[in-house]
Chains A and B, each alone.
Chain A
Amino acid sequence: MLFIPDKKHYYKNNDLSDFATPKKLHMPLFGFKSPLELLVSKGQRVLKYQQLAHKEGLFGSSVHAPVSGVVGDVLTIDEWDYLEVFNDFLNESEVPSPMNPEAISIPEFRQILQGFGIEGSGGARFPSTAKYAIEAGDVETLIINGAECEPYLMADYALMKNYAQELALCIAFIQRLFKIPKAIIGIENQHRNLKPILEKALTNEEVIGGVKLLSDFYPQGGELQLIKSVTGKTLKKGSIPAKAGVIVNNVATIYAIYRAVFKGIPYTERIVTLFDEASQKGRNYWVPIGMPVSAISDHFFRPTSEHFSLVIGGPMMGRSVQDEGMAIHKGSGGILSLYKSSYQSENCIGCGYCADVCPQNLLPMEFSKNVEKQDINQLQNYYLQDCIECGACAYICPSRIPLVQDIREGKRLML
């Protein structure tokens, strides 16, 4: 089991702030494993909350304008497409149409999830429509993932602290709609001060269930690990949790559903943690989806130098920023400026630390060796496909072997 010093105390109790909306947004045009289809054209004026792009189908999703303004070009930045939106600062919005939550049926709910662009906010960006392809009575336990096991990230913490009532309201709604007998919010033991706040909110909304304190080990927030901690069930990677009677939603996803169902507002902003390792400064902000890294780094981070790298997401599973045009998407809980490590990788000394910390019970050192040999049979034999790329092995490796990089290479070989 791996425990990572999380350093969250620097800004744990800082309140939430709004970030100044930038002049130009880069709306991500990529959904879960597939691109979105554009609904607007260059030069067109769009209103706040207007749908910009979508994709139909089970894994469909959509993206909406967080501001009013004019549509620009489609940019390709680091292999991904983004749509430029020039903010006119008039903040003219489509009037959100209020709904009566009690009258919503299950098919209507799935329509809302897709039409309002709701997707997994924990990082994987799995479309919520697909997750809720269930009927009433199919699921025994609704797990709300508040573990946020990535070091530095505190966005979900801030959300739970400040919006417990809204979360509880939405959980109660989902529980009634799908007739789910039990709803559990899982939080890490280090955030136990949130327990009374959440419990009070859940009781107020008559949610059947409660808050469960979980061990602080990394990756507690991994879906399979969380299901095990809460229900005791061990699910194989790739299996559908709903078939085992479990559904897992990130707290930020629940909040996005709350806004869609109760306010009629699409998923256009989220809480993001900004952290600067040089100044040890960190804070949580409401940030519009599509906020380019450049708009943030100019204001927040010390001048970036060769000694620092910017990361979107958490330090364990995030993505390095190749171009500051990359923008916040619905799965990014943070932008971090971190010291670059200067270690050289050495031979594997067979310490076995990677095997000790692997949450999937795998042998990561074998992946590296067999990727080098291009031995696909052995990669299969050691269950490479079951790796969740949490990075625990590479974190602990004293020889600094780039295990995650090798694992991704191995998965490419196996395709």
Chain B
Amino acid sequence: MNSSPFISASSSTRSVMIDVIIALLPLLVIALWAFGERAFVVVISCILSCLLVNVLSGYVILNKSKVSMDGSAIITGILLAFTLSPLTPWYVCVFGGSMAILFGKILWGGLGKNRFNPALVGREFMTAFFPFIMNGGSLWDTGLYVNNIDPGEYKIFLSGHFSTIIYNPTGALGEYSLVAISLGGIYLLIRNRISWHIPFTFLVTLSLVQSLLPIGNTIQFSTGGVLLGAVFMATDMPTSPTHRNAKLYFGMMLGLVISLLLYSGVHHVYLSYGILIMNAFMKQIGEVMKPNAWGHSFQKDTLEKIGQTSFHILLITFSVISLHKADVINWLIFGYAGYMLFKFYDQTQFKTRALF
């Protein structure tokens, strides 16, 4: 390197990814503890398919002589598994993992260039291509298989009940322990791998809307799922804004969008929808909310731009709600897949032309 600076900090993309994996470990332990081999099959089929597709498609599509083993594919695999039921068939998991990497990351140009959270993209593909399995009621009927702990064995808890904050095995694999999610979040905060802005504004907005206009009992709402989304999904580095102002706004709007989805009666998938919608606006938010440079004053048209962006976000949210009600979200996914393939085809055509 012939350009300054001639020294650098010790962290690398790999060390960032390793920290995220460490933060996910307690959750992994809880998930495996709750559902044993069933959880293991789901997790391992997600991770292995992500890793394999990452290496293969990286070789073929990105044409890199050395495929990056930075650990991001493992994270995508774990996060995908965490949004699934422990009873999800392994081949559906493998499909989801492959699609997460292919359509969530590689076709965009690899790590960091993707616009949408790969794990959530993978999950949407699973729902679109295996609707009967993914939407079937039996998938979430997990009561029979769960490893229920005898409260008597755990004398630390004076009430005799295994506190639901520590262990509450209902819903998707990553939602079983609020304490484990929080521990992971605190670790990421200490290591500066996430900042407090998105989780904080997201959770505050959501609870504010909730307390002002409480959602009825009929609507399913998983605290574990929301916390998992706030700590691990919404804060995903490539698909969330990079600076404080934008993060604050991103978290706030995410809270609003998710509230809207909940009120409109969108079950189970409200988190994926909400985060994916906000992912789509990540770039625009980053630009609109950009900080004023040192010594510069507030730009007058900023408020107007924020208003416009908010309007766009709400518009898209209502469109998604309508599509969901009309039961045609899967067509949106097929459209996305088609668009990504066309974009890739178009770019490679261009490259070939440039070569000759």
Q: Which residues of A contact B (CB under 8 A)?
A: 4, 151, 224, 234-237, 239, 309, 311, 313, 315-320, 322, 336, 338, 340-341, 343, 346-353, 355-356, 359-363, 365-366, 381-383, 386, 389, 391, 394-400, 402, 404-405, 408
Which residues of B have CB within 8 Å of A338?
6-7
Is there contact, CB below 8 Å, between A408 and B13? no
Contact in complex: A395, B8 (CB < 8 Å): yes
Complex CA distance for A405 and B4, rounded to whole angstroms: 8
Q: A405 vs B2: C-alpha distance in the bound complex, in angstroms?
A: 9
Given known pairs A349-B111, A355-B242, the reply for A404 and B294 (CB within 8 Å) is: no
Chain A residues near B287: list those with CB within 8 A.
381
The list of the 9 closest CB pairs from A to B, nearest first, reads A236-B295, A352-B242, A391-B5, A347-B112, A383-B293, A405-B3, A355-B243, A349-B112, A360-B294
Q: Are B1 and A340 in contact (CB under 8 A)?
A: yes
- Contact between chains at A348 and B112 (CB < 8 Å): yes
B4 cross-chain contacts in A, Cβ below 8 A: 311, 313, 315-320, 389, 391, 394, 404
- Residue of A whose beta carbon sits closest to that of B110: A347
Q: How many positions in chain B have a CB within 8 Å of any CB in the partner chain?
A: 41
A400 partner residues in chain B, CB cutoff 8 A: 8, 12
- Closest-by-CB residue of A relative to B1 is A341
Tell me whether A237 and B294 are in contact (CB under 8 A). yes
Q: Which residue of B lies closest to A239 (CB)?
A: B295
Decide if A320 touches B3 in the complex (CB within 8 Å).
Answer: yes
Count chain A CB atoms within 10 A of each CB in B15, B68, B240, B286 and give the residue with the most.
B286
A351 touches B5 (CB 8 A): no
| Interface: B131 (CB within 8 A) | no
User: Is B296's CB within 8 Å of the partner chain A?
Assistant: yes
Known: A239-B295, A349-B16. 4 other contacts (CB 8 A): A346-B111, A359-B294, A365-B242, A395-B8
Known: A224-B294, A355-B243. A317 touches B109 (CB 8 A): no
CB of A361 within 8 A of CB of B293, answer: yes
The chain B residues found within 8 Å of chain A, CB to CB, are 1-9, 11-13, 15-16, 68, 70, 109-113, 192-193, 195, 237-244, 286-287, 290-296
Separation of A398 and B294 alpha carbons in the complex (Å): 24
By a CB distance below 8 angstroms, the chain A residues around B1 are 309, 320, 340-341, 402
Bound: A362/B7 CA distance, A = 21
Closest B residue to A393 using CB positions:
B5
Is the beta-carbon distance between B12 and A320 smaller than 8 angstroms?
Answer: no
Q: Is the CB of B112 within 8 A of A386?
A: no
B15:A361 contact, CB within 8 angstroms = no
Q: List 22 A-B contacts (CB under 8 A).
A: A311-B4, A315-B7, A316-B6, A317-B4, A320-B1, A320-B4, A320-B6, A340-B1, A341-B6, A347-B109, A347-B111, A347-B113, A350-B237, A351-B237, A366-B290, A383-B293, A386-B294, A395-B5, A397-B8, A400-B8, A402-B3, A404-B5
Instruction: Report if A224-B295 is in contact (Cβ < 8 Å); known contacts: A349-B238, A404-B5.
Output: yes
How many whole Å from A81's CB to the nearest CB in chain B? 20
Contact indicator A349/B13 (Cβ below 8 Å): yes
List B contacts of A389 (CB < 8 A): 4
Check if B290 sits within 8 Å of A395, measured CB to CB.
Answer: no
Q: Select the residue from A361, A366, A396 with max chain B CB neighbours within 10 A.
A: A361
* CB pair A322 B109 closer than 8 Å: no
Q: Which of B109, B110, B243, B293 contacts A352 (CB 8 A)?
A: B243
Name the CB-closest residue of B to A352.
B242
How long is the Cα–Cα vector from A320 to B286 in the complex, in angstroms?
A: 35
Whole-angstrom distance between the alpha carbons of A349 and B15 in the complex?
12
Q: How far is the CA of A355 from the CA of B247 in the complex (A)?
A: 12
Taking CB atoms, residues of chain A closer than 8 Å to B2 are 309, 320, 322
Give the docked Cα–Cα distance between A210 and B68 (Å).
54
Cα-based distance from A348 to B111 in the complex (angstroms): 8
Q: Are the CB atoms of A382 and B3 closer together than 8 Å?
A: no
Q: Taking CB as reference atom, which chain B residue is nearest A392?
A: B5
A398 interface neighbour in B3, B6, B13, B242, Cβ under 8 Å: B13
B152 CB → nearest A CB, Å: 46
Given known contacts A360-B293, A400-B12, is B243 in contact with A318 (CB within 8 Å)?
Answer: no
Determine the distance from Cα of A348 to Cα of B240 in the docked complex, in whole angstroms: 13
Complex: A351 Cα to B240 Cα, angstroms: 9
Within 8 Å by CB of A394, from B5, B110, B238, lies B5
CB <8 Å contact, B296 and A346: no
Question: CB-CB < 8 A to B293: which residues of A?
Answer: 236-237, 360-362, 383, 386
